[in-house]
Amino acid sequence: MGTRTVNHHEDVIILGDGAAGVAAAHASLRLGVRPLLISLGNGATTLYSGCLDHGVWNLHPRSSSLDERQKEFIDAIDIWCVDPEKTRVATLAGVVRTADAADRALLNLASHKNETILVPRIDRPNWDADFLARSWSEDLWCREQGLRFESFDASSLDDDRMRFGSDTEIAFHLDSPEGRTKFGEHLSAEVQRHGGGKSVLLGPWLGIDTPVASILTNHIGIQIGEACAGLGSTAGARWEHAANRWLTQQRITRIQDRVQRLEQVDGDWNVHVSQSKRPYQAKAVVVATGGIAGGGIILTSGEPQEGNEQSFSPAHPFSLSYRGPLVLTVDGRISETVASLHGFNLERLAWPRDDHGVWWMDRINVLRDGVQVLDASNNPLAGLFVAGELALKRPAASLASIATGVEAGTAAARYVLTNA
Amino acid sequence: MTEAPSPLSLAHPNTDYDVVVIGGGVNGTGVLRDCAIRGLSACLFERNDLAFGASGNSSGMIHGGVRYLTSSPKVTRLSCLDSGYIQRIAPHLLFRIPFIMPIHRSIGSRIFLQLVDAFFGAYDSFQPLKRGRPHTRLTPEQARILEPGLSGDIVGAVTFDEWGIDGARLCTANAVDAHQRGAHVRTHTTVEGLELLSSSPARMAVRWRDRITNQSGSVSTRVVVNASGAWAPLTASLADMPPSVAAVRPGKGIHVVFDRRLSNYAVVAQAIDNRQIFLEPWQNVSILGTTDTDYYGDLDQVTATSDEVRYLIEAIRRVFPSIQNARAIHTFAGVRPTLYAYGPIPDKLSREHEIIDHASHGKDGIYSMIGGKLASYRIFAQQMTDIVAARLDCHQPSQTHLLPLPGGDESLDAGELAKICEIDPVAARRLIYRHGSRARLIAEQIVESKRTPRFICSCEAITEEEIRFVVRHEFVRCFEDLSRRTRLGLGPCAGLHCVLRAGAIVADELGWTPSQGRSQALRLLLSSSFTRAVALGSAQARQEALLRAAIRAQVGWGQEP
C-alpha cells in the first residue's frame, strides 16, 4: 500500500483512523461523498478502555445527547451499547464507574441487583481476584444496589496462556470455537463446584472479532462479562477490528503512511506522504490526527542545532506531526514562538493539582470555528476541517470525538457537493 | 508499621531511652545502629521518611572525595577508608562506576592533561583503601574506543575508579539493623519540642507528633543527637537555642535520570561556569548531576527546576551529544548540609564534618552533627556514638565497620536464586542488589505462594512478594516510602503499570481500604508528575498523556487524591 497515487480519486481525504476519523468517513459517506483514509495506525482510540464518554467520567454529567448521525455510526460499528443512565462497569483498578456508552463485552453491573457476582481466582500475574472482589464490594453504589463480589477457585482455567499470555492473546484464543467452548466448560464446572452463581466477571479476554461474552452467556447459562482495563486492552483491538470490518464493507480505501505535508493548490488539497512521491489530492480534508497520546501533536522543548555555541534556535513549544497551514492554539489563543532559545518553562507540564484542572497538553487545539479550520487571521481555510482531540478542549472523550468527527465529515461532504 | 521489639535494658533506667536521634538520613540511621550495637537504648525520629533528604537524593556514590584532594585531603582519606568499610559491611549495595575525564583541545590542554594525570596519580595512593583500581591515562583513540559517545577534539583522557550505592537502601539497611538490635524507628514523626527535665545528670523530654496519625507524646532521654542534615538549625531551635548554633550552608543539588545506561563510563564534563558535572551509569539508568546552589526554600519540598535541568544538559551535550536524543524520565533534588561559611562559592565549601556539643550553648546533652557525606557517614556516626557512649559510661568500641548490614553477610548467586523461584536472572540480580542475602527470604515467599511470580513493576522488576516484604520489614508507612525503598513508579513507564496495583498491595499490608491505597498511589503520581515535568521530552510527554488517559479511564479524576 501507499505506492498508488490518487488524483481526484476520492472526494474527501481523512487524516487519522481513530474514532473521529472513522466517524467522519461515515458521515461523509452518508451524504454520498467517498472518503479516503490516511493514517499510520495505532492512535489513542486503539488504546481506549472500552468506555465511551462525553468527558472525564466522574467530572461530567451523564448525557445521552446523540443525534441520528452519531447513532447511525455507533450502530454501524456495532460493538457498543449506549445507555448513559444504566451503565456501570468495574475497572481493573478496583473502581466501579459510570459510562455514557460501553463495549458490549464489558459486564454491565447496572442490570444486576441484590446479587453476588463471582470473580475467578486465576494464576495470572495482573489478575488479583481477591483484591478486585474486595475493592469492588467497597463501592458505595454497589452496596446500595446489593451487589457483592466474591472470588472463587478456578484453577482449571490456569494454563500457560493464562499465566504468560497477553490479554489479547487470550481473547484471540477465545475467538476460536474450540478455545471458547473449552473455556466455557471449565468456567461452568468451576462455578458449579463453588456452589453455583449467576454472573462472572472476567478480565479483558472475551474475544476480538466474535461476541464471546454473549455466545458463552447463552451457552453456559451464566452471565459473563469483562472488567474494563485502563489502556491497551482488548477493547481497543475490538474497535480496530470493527472499524476495519466497516471500512472494508464500504470499500473505503485506507492508506497506511505517514503524512508529511498538507497544502492548498488551486482550490484542491494536496496531502504529501512519506512513501509516495505524488501527493494524494482532494477537494476537502478532515484532520483527525489526535493529540499528544495519539501522536498528532509533538512536544518540542527546544530545537538542538549542530555545533557547540548558542546551539538552540527559537521554537514553538509543540507542533503537529506534519506541516500545513493549520495554526495551533492553547485555550483559544494562538501558540507563539517561546521567548527562549531553550523552549518553554517545562514546569507547565506538571499535572494540575486542582479538581477540574485540565493538563496543559490537553488544551492544545487547532485554530478553528467549530470544525472549520481557520488561518491566523481568522479566515476559513476552505475545504479544511478538524475533528477529534484537535477540536476538543477536553481529553479522554471518545463520544465528543465521534461528535466532532460526524460534524467534520458532514461539513467536508457538503463542501465537496457545493464545490463540485 | 513494622512491629518493634521491646527496648534494650537501659544504661540509665530513669529515662525512656539513652539516646534519641533526630533525623533518618544516613548519619542518623548510622548513629542509631552504632548505639544499638553498643547496647544503648535508642530511638530515632524522622519528620518525613528515611533517606528523604540529601541521603536519598545524592549522586548515589560513595566516592573517595577526589574533588577535595587538594583542598582537604583529610576528607579524601576518610572517604576512601570508610568507603572500604562500607564495601565490607554491605557488598551487595555497591557497584563499580569507572569514570572517564576527557580533556578537550585548548590553549594549555596538554599541560592540563599532565596535571590531571599527576593529580589522579596522587589519588591512586588512596585507592587501595576502597579496593579501587589505579587511574589510567588514555590517548584520544583509546578514549573513543572505550566511550564511543564522546565528541569533540580530545587530547587525551584519564580514567579513575569509584563506587556507586543506593543511598535510600543504605539508610534502610542501617535502620533495619538497628531495629533488629532493639532500637526504635519512628518515621513521619516530627519532633516539636526539646526540654531539659533536669541538669545533672541531664535528662530531656522529646515531644513528638506523628504526622500521619496526628498522635503525639513525649519520651525522656539522656542524650539527643541532632542528625537532621539541612534541617539541623530548625531542630536546634526546638531546644530554645538560636538556629545559628547548628548553622549549615544549604546547597541544593539536582539530578536528571535517563531511562537506560547511556555510557560505559561515567563521563565528566565542564559546565558553563567551569564546574564539573557528570553523567554516570547507575543501576539500570543513567544519572546526570549535579548543581550546587544555595537554597532557602522549604526543605520538605525541594524540586528541580527546568533551568537547572537545562544547565546540566547543556554541559554534558558538548562532550556527549547523544544525550539530546535520550529520554529523561525523572529528576530529583536534595539539599546538602555543608559546614557553614559566608563567602565561598558553594563548590569550594568544605565537605568535612563536625560535631557540635551544645553544652556551650547551655544545653548539655544535645549534640548536632553538621556536614559530612555519604561516603564517610559510618566514621562520622562512629565519632558521634563514641562521644555519646563515653558520656553514658558505655565502653564498648564501635563495631559498625565489622558487622555486616542486613543482607551483607553472604553473597547469593543470581542464577541459582532465579531457578529457585522461577524468575528471570536479571530480575533476581535486581532483587539481590536491593536485599543482599535477604533476597532469599523473598524468594521463599515467591515459592510458597505457589503462583506464577507477579511482577508489579516491570521497570525495576519488583514482585508482589518483594513489596509485601518491604512494607513489613522496612518501615513503610505511606506509598511514597515504598517508592523510595524500591524506586517503584519512577521508571520509564512513570507508574502506568504499577502504582495502582502496588497501592492495593500496600493497602492490604497496612490494613487500609482499597480506596485508601488508590488515593495514596495517585498522590505519588501527582507529586512525581512535578519531578518529571521539568525534564520532559517528546517521548516521555506521550507516556505522560497515556498515563493520564489510563488513570482517567480506570479511576476518574478529581475526587482522589
- Residues in chain B predicted with pLDDT less than 50, given as ranges, are 1-4, 560-561
Q: Among A77, A80, A116, which residue's Cα sits nearest to residue A100?
A: A80
Q: For chain A, give the number of residues.
A: 420
- Looking at the complex, report in whole angstroms how far the Cα of residue A94 sits from the nearest Cα belonging to chain B: 8
Is the N-terminal amide bond of B290 cis, ω within 30° of 0? yes
Looking at the partner chain, which of A93, A346, A349 has a beta carbon nearest the beta carbon of B518?
Answer: A93
Please say whether the beta carbons of B161 and B98 come within 8 A: yes
B419 bridge partner residues: none
Residue B375 per-residue DSSP state = G
Which among B454, B477, B478 has a CA at the least distance from the CA of B465?
B454
pLDDT-based confidence at residue A126 (cuts at 50, 70, 90): confident
- Closest residue in B to A360 (Cα) is B545
What ranges make up the beta strands (E) of B378-485?
455-457, 462-463
A370 contacts A364 by C-beta, under 8 angstroms: no
Average pLDDT over residues A322-349: 88
Average pLDDT, chain A: 90
CA A315 and chain centroid, separation: 30
Mutate: best of B552, B559, B560, partner A, most A CBs <10 A: B552
In this predicted structure, what is the pLDDT of residue B442?
Answer: 97
Classify strands A35-39 and A51-52 as parallel, antiparallel or unpaired: unpaired
Residue B334, φ and ψ in degrees, nearest 5: -145, 170
Instruction: State whether CATH 3.90.1150.220 applies to domain B17-54+168-247+351-391.
Output: no
By Cβ distance, the residue of A93, A342, A356 closest to B555 is A93
User: What are the grid coordinates assigned to B130, written together?
Assistant: 576502597
Between CA B502 and CA B397 the distance in angstroms is 42
Q: What residues contact B435, with CB distance under 8 A and at least 6 apart?
A: B92, B407, B441, B442, B466, B469
Q: What is the pLDDT of residue B3?
A: 45
The answer to whether the CB atoms of B518 and A94 lie below 8 A apart is: yes
Q: Which residues, in sequence order, are bridge partners of residue A380?
A: A374
pLDDT at A302 over 70: no
CA A327 to CA A366: how far, in whole Å? 6
Helix (H/G/I), strand (E/B), else coil: A241: helix
Cβ contact B451:B463 at 8 Å? no
pLDDT interval class at A396 (50, 70, 90): low
pLDDT digits (tens, 9 = 90+) for B330-339: 999 999 999 9
Instruction: Tell me how far apart the alpha carbons of residues B254 and B335 are, in angstroms, rounded to a whole number.
Output: 9
Pick the closest to residue B160 from B118, B112, B105, B106 (CA basis): B118
The candidate with the shortest Cα–Cα distance to B205, out of B190, B226, B220, B184, is: B220
Give alpha helix (H) positions in B241-325.
Answer: 306-317
Q: A398-418 and A68-77 are packed helices; what angle lies between their axes, rounded to 10 degrees?
A: 110
At the top level of CATH, the class of B92-163+249-337 is alpha beta
Q: Give the model's pLDDT for residue B69.
A: 83
Locus of grid cell 524468575: B423
Predicted pLDDT of residue B10: 54
Please write the tens of the pLDDT for every residue from A15-31: 999 999 999 999 999 99
Q: Is the dihedral of CA A187, A191, A196, A201 positive or negative?
A: negative
Residue B17 CB neighbours (<10 A): 27
The 10s digit of each residue's pLDDT in A228-241 is: 987 878 999 999 99
Alpha-carbon distance of B191 to B183, in angstroms, equals 17
In this prediction, residue A311 has a pLDDT band, given cuts at 50, 70 and 90, of: low
pLDDT at residue B1 in the model: 43
Q: For B528, phi and psi rounded to 5 degrees?
A: -75, -20
Q: What residues contact residue B13 under an 8 Å CB cut-off, 6+ apart?
A: none
B112: Cβ contacts below 8 Å, ≥ 6 apart: B103
For B462, phi and psi rounded to 5 degrees? -110, 125
Q: Do A301 and B455 touch (CB under 8 A)?
A: no
If one counts every other C-beta atom within 10 angstroms of the C-beta of residue B117, the result is 16
The answer to whether the CB atoms of A396 and B552 lie below 8 A apart is yes
Q: Is A308 helix (H, G, I), strand (E, B) or coil?
A: coil
What kind and span of H or E run contains A383?
A: strand A380-386
**CB contact (8 A) between residue A361 and residue B544:** yes
- The cell numbers describing A95, all together, are 473502581
Q: Under a CB-based contact definition with an 8 Å cutoff, are residues B465 and B435 in contact?
A: no
- Per-residue confidence (pLDDT) for residue B11, from 0 to 100: 54
All residues of chain B having their beta carbon less than 8 Å from the beta carbon of residue A356 are 558
Chain centroid offset of residue A341 CA: 36
Does A118 score more than 70 pLDDT? yes
Residues 6+ away with beta carbon under 8 Å from B380: B27, B30, B353, B369, B372
Instruction: Return the CA Rg of chain B.
Output: 23
User: Quick one: pLDDT at residue B2?
Assistant: 45
Of all residues in chain A, what percent carry a pLDDT higher than 70? 93
* A154 vs A43, residue with greater confidence: A154
Say which of A47, A94, A228 has its CB closest to residue B504. Answer: A94
Map grid coordinates 532483587 to a residue: B431
Beta strands in B211-327 (DSSP E): 216-226, 248-258, 266-270, 276-282, 285-289, 293-294
**A chain contacts of residue B549, beta-carbon cutoff 8 Å:** 44, 47-48, 230-231, 293, 395-396
pLDDT score, position A146: 97
Q: Residue B561's pLDDT is what?
A: 38
What local confidence, expressed as pLDDT, does residue A125 receive? 87
DSSP for A115-168 reads EEEEEEE--BTTB-HHHHHHHHHT-HHHHHTTEEEEEEE-GGG--HHHHHS-HH
Interface of A with B in 1-30 (CB under 8 A): none
Phi and psi torsions of A200, nearest 5°: -130, 130
What structural domains does chain A harbor? 12-47+238-418 (3.50.50.60), 65-231 (no CATH)
Scan for cell 493539582, then name that residue. Answer: A353
Q: Provide ipTM, 2 decimals.
A: 0.92
- The Cα A213–Cα B376 span in angstroms is 63
- Among residues A64, A28, A47, A42, the alpha carbon closest in space to that of A405 is found at A28
Contact between chains at A93 and B541 (C-beta distance less than 8 A): no
Q: Using CB atoms, which residue from A295, A346, A359 is nearest to B534? A: A346
Q: From A62, A86, A58, A82, select the one nearest A70 (Cα to Cα).
A: A82
Q: Which residue of chain A has the CA closest to B451?
A: A123
DSSP 8-state symbol, A110: G
Work out how many CB contacts closer than 8 A connect A with B.
Answer: 156
Determine which helix (DSSP H) or strand (DSSP E) holds B198, and give its type and residue range.
strand B189-198
- In the numeric block, which cell numbers belong to residue B330? 525523572
Predicted pLDDT at A304: 58
CB spacing of B544 vs A342 below 8 angstroms: no
Omega before B321 cis (within 30°)?
no
Beta-strand (E) ranges in B114-153? 136-138
Residue A242 and residue A79 in contact, taking contact as beta carbons nearer than 8 Å: yes
Instruction: Among A164, A349, A353, A389, pick the best mutation site for testing chain B contact (most B Cβ within 10 A).
Output: A349
Residues of B in contact with A228 (CB under 8 A): 553-554
> CA of B361 to nearest chain A CA: how many angstroms apart?
44
- DSSP 8-state class, residue B53: S
Mapped onto helix, strand or coil, the DSSP state of residue A8 is coil
If residue A112 lies in a helix (H) or strand (E), which one and from where to where?
none
Look at residue A303 in the predicted model and tell me its pLDDT: 55
Task: Specify the range with the lowest mean pLDDT, choosing from A207-221, A324-338, B132-146, B337-351.
Answer: B337-351
Q: Burial, B390: exposed, middle or buried (Cβ in 10 Å; 0-12, 13-18, 19+)?
A: exposed
B561 preceded by cis ω (within 30°)? yes
Distance from CA of B331 to the nearest CA of A (A): 12
Look up residue B526 and give its three cell numbers. 501527582
Dihedral of alpha carbons B390, B393, B395, B399, sign: negative
Residue type, position B6, single letter: S
Distance CA B34, CA B36 (A): 5
What is the distance in angstroms between the Cα of A140 and the nearest Cα belonging to chain B?
Answer: 11
Q: Which residues contact B459 (CB under 8 A, 6 or more apart)?
A: B490, B491, B492, B493, B498
The Cα A186–Cα B518 span in angstroms is: 33
Instruction: Report CB contact under 8 Å: B515, A138.
Output: yes
Q: What pLDDT digit, counting tens, does each position of A153-195 carry?
A: 999 999 999 999 999 999 999 999 999 999 999 999 999 999 9
